[in-house]
Amino acid sequence: MDLPTALNLVATLAVVVGVVFAMIEVRAALRSRRDHAAVDIVRTIQTQEIRRAAALIFTLPDDADPELVRSDPAVLEAALAIDSACEMWGVDRL
């Protein structure tokens, strides 16, 4: 193998390695951007009201009668706050 051929091979290899590295970095940047966006959405919706509402809802038994929720204005307000937050997150069911 002569010198010009070897240099062409090295140059081609360097370009291929550079392209592969760039693709890996772009994927990592996109993943990082997606993760940061998800955290920002959660921070926006996760307020003290939602935390208090969740704490109240978690005190209910698993098989709580829906009438129990409807009859207590504080529990109903908490349930509606959680429902609104879930709608903003795009959650269909809990």
List C-alpha distances in Å: 51 to 55, 65, 71, 82.
6, 22, 21, 9
Q: Does the CA dihedral 15-20-21-27 come out positive or negative? A: positive
Sorted by where each begins, the domain ranges of the chain are 1-45, 47-94
Give me the DSSP letters along 4-22.
HHHHHHHHHHHHHHHHHHH
Label residue 92 by pLDDT band (50, 70, 90): low
Label residue 83 by pLDDT band (50, 70, 90): confident
Q: pTM value?
A: 0.52
pLDDT in tens, 16-47: 999 999 999 999 999 999 888 878 877 777 78
